[in-house]
Chain A
Amino acid sequence: MLECWVLLGGTLDSTQQNRNPLNRVVCNILGLLETKNVTKRFGGLTAVNDVSLNVEEGQIFGLIGPNGAGKTTLLNCISGVYKPEEGHIFFNGEDVTSFSADKICHTGIARTFQIVHSFPTMSVLENVMVGATFGGRKDREKPENIAEKMLDFVDFPLDYDVLAQDVNTVQLKQVELARAMATECNLLLLDEVAAGLTPGELDVISKLILRIKDSGITIIMVEHLMKLIMGVCDRIAVLSFGQKIAEGPPKEIAENEKVVEAYLGTKRKH
């Protein structure tokens, strides 16, 4: 009965696409993720205005800007939460603009949230297993093993059987990262991963981010914290009022006048 339903229902979990090596080669030239003239409006407000980015494989790409600049909105557009009114998003050379969030996940983009999202009454292991079971390919090893591996990778300090509702924020962030990586992603979107962390914890997280990069995963991170951004990013784009005002390596950005004017200027008052 169950199998029948799955058969009838077709793609209860659609298998991943666009994983053939030829595609990859093409992508390396074009960049892993490309947004072309993406515009997203809410009523009269244009949250993201004509933003084009090109993220190459293996980079850590930083996305910065003052509050309300449209960073999270752009991230939501990429991860399929919103559909942009104009423009296109290409991932691995495929147009993923109209994909739903779960389908985006299957193409290999995973994400974390600004405010941690978890499954509170499931154990930490199960939380990560969700990502491994539904995000990844079917023919891989057992989700349980993947989940354990991922938790090991993020150095989750507690018993893996502990419920998600019983752990603290930094641990939840680790769980969230593990869950995202368990989906076997090529691209990881991090939304203000450092928010609310103590300097010590920040250190743990930034080391973790570098380790994720080393494992071959491309990262786009939205961040307020300059120290973190400048420390880990290969390339940075700056948004202000929905528009991209600058893009380049961290050093260039730090010296860019427009950025200092639009962004750092306001930041100092903080």
Chain B
Amino acid sequence: MKGMSMGRLIKNRWGVLFLVLILSASLLMMGGCGSGDGDNEASDDKTVKIGVLGPFTGPAARVGEEFKASTEMAFEAVDYQIGDHEIELVWIDSESDAEKAARAYEQAIVKDKIDCGFLNWHSWVSVSCMEVAAKYKIPHFFSIGGTDIVNEKYESDPEKYFYWVGKGWPVPEKLSISYVTTLEEAIDKGIWEPRNKKVAMYGVDNDWGRGFANALRSQFEDAGWEVVSEDWVALGETEFYPMLNKLKSLDVSVIAGTMSDPPSVSSFIKQSREVGLESLIICDGLGWVGEWYDLTGEASDYVIDQIPQWATPEAQKFASEFEERYGLEPGANSGGLCYDLARFLVKVLETCDEQYGDINTENLTKIAKDEVMTGNLTLDDGVMTSVYQYTPETFPDPVVDKEHYIFPVIQYFDGEAKIVWPEEWKEQDLQIPEGM
């Protein structure tokens, strides 16, 4: 066989040049970054690295933004300094996906060598990262993801999974009961005479949505309501006409459920108004992120939600400071709660420094076991709710009652939340739209 000519193989000199350039550039880049990593390893052990897990991109990116801001604010307050330790935050992006989160978390452990983990939003991410934390024995503090599924996993092997130290949010049933109580009280008082006692459940199709709706479902049934349907929708779905028309034809007095991503929840509320649904809507999580009212408009009037309010002066101060710095209106449950939990973490770090003189994974694990889980260490000046405390009985949930941790039930009007329950905090009675 005769050889091929060079000219045909390399049809295009510029092409070759271009590829060679790309090749060498990538190799250089690899080399450069590689050596950079080597330096990190040698950093002095006075630096404490905290991996902050949050949905920084993906459908819940807005929550991630608030997480970032609140955590920064809490650590700026102590100037990123605990004793003579410097705090370094490592952002771990969960992308709202269990698998990606687990990968990123493991990456942060092996690459960035974090000393402990902090925060998280979704419970399915909790479930996957719990495994990673247990594998590497890294304590992870105050993840918000709160459904039963996290508790179940913890209880399946408390020894192994206690590294997932405390949840920032109790199991849904502890909070969702307030909705049923609110409605029942309104009926007792004669504020509302529902045309029937039928309720339809809906929810985003994941651990959170199903866990919440299931808890609420049995609570409604216990109170003598009939649950006539259940609908699960995919994360990010924005088309609800068929489902809402079905609910409308079922003629229920109440529809109750939750969705956690802004496009879904706002489309749902908006479209419920468009199809003329004549039911009271319980929508847990509508107000979780700041800009919901821009998306729903007046369709959100009369919608019932459960969210802590910026009631205390400290809370209002935090909220206005937050808005000033980041140009975002913080959501109470994302920004606010995160701020409290970050301050709790600061307290944990300080305690660790006082007791052991050194902050590292091992000592933090001891603090988690001896102080946090036992209820010795609490945060009692939270901006969102009075006291954050874990006891061996409630662990991994925080203590939930009116003195410790509870959220008021609210109803929206013109984008403003009015507290309708409990009695002590009430701003007005539950309002019922005409004809319901």
Direct chain A–B contact by Cβ atoms under 8 Å: yes
Residue A160 interfacial (CB < 8 Å): yes
Please, how many angstroms separate the alpha-carbon atoms of A163 and B4 in the complex? 10
Residue B325 interfacial (CB < 8 Å): no
The interface size of chain A toward B, counting residues with CB under 8 Å, comes to 6
Write out the residue numbers on chain A whose beta carbons fall within 8 Å of the beta carbon of B1.
125, 160-161
Residue B189 interfacial (CB < 8 Å): no
Q: Which of B243-268 contact A (CB under 8 A)?
A: none
Please, how many angstroms separate the alpha-carbon atoms of A161 and B2 in the complex? 7
Shortest C-beta distance, B44 to chain A (Å), equals: 55
Report the contact-size class of chain B (Cβ under 8 Å from the partner): under 10
Shortest C-beta distance, B9 to chain A (Å), equals: 11
Q: Which of A141-157 contact B (CB under 8 A)?
A: none
Write out the residue numbers on chain A whose beta carbons fall within 8 Å of the beta carbon of B4.
161
Residue A3 interfacial (CB < 8 Å): no
Residue on B with the closest CB to A160? B1
Chain A 144-180: CB-based contact to B (< 8 A → 1; otherwise 0) = 0000000000000001110100100000000000000
Chain B 379-397: CB-based contact to A (< 8 A → 1; otherwise 0) = 0000000000000000000
Q: Which of B1-27 contact A (CB under 8 A)?
A: 1-4, 8
Write out the residue numbers on chain B whose beta carbons fall within 8 Å of the beta carbon of A159.
2
Write out the residue numbers on chain A whose beta carbons fall within 8 Å of the beta carbon of B2.
159-161
Shortest C-beta distance, A161 to chain B (Å), equals: 6
Residue on A with the closest CB to B1? A161
Residue on B with the closest CB to A144? B1
Please, how many angstroms separate the alpha-carbon atoms of A125 and B8 in the complex? 17
Chain A 114-141: CB-based contact to B (< 8 A → 1; otherwise 0) = 0000000000010000000000000000
Shortest C-beta distance, A234 to chain B (Å), equals: 39
Write out the residue numbers on chain A whose beta carbons fall within 8 Å of the beta carbon of B8.
163, 166
Write out the residue numbers on chain A whose beta carbons fall within 8 Å of the beta carbon of B3.
161
Shortest C-beta distance, B61 to chain A (Å), equals: 44
In the complex, given contacts A161-B3, A161-B4, A163-B8, what are 7 additional A-B residue pairs having Cβ atoms less than 8 angstroms apart? A125-B1, A159-B2, A160-B1, A160-B2, A161-B1, A161-B2, A166-B8
Residues of B within 8 A of A (CB): 1-4, 8
Pairs across A and B, CB under 8 Å, 10 listed: A125-B1, A159-B2, A160-B1, A160-B2, A161-B1, A161-B2, A161-B3, A161-B4, A163-B8, A166-B8
Identify the 5 closest CB pairs spanning chains A and B, nearest first: A159-B2, A161-B4, A161-B1, A161-B2, A160-B1
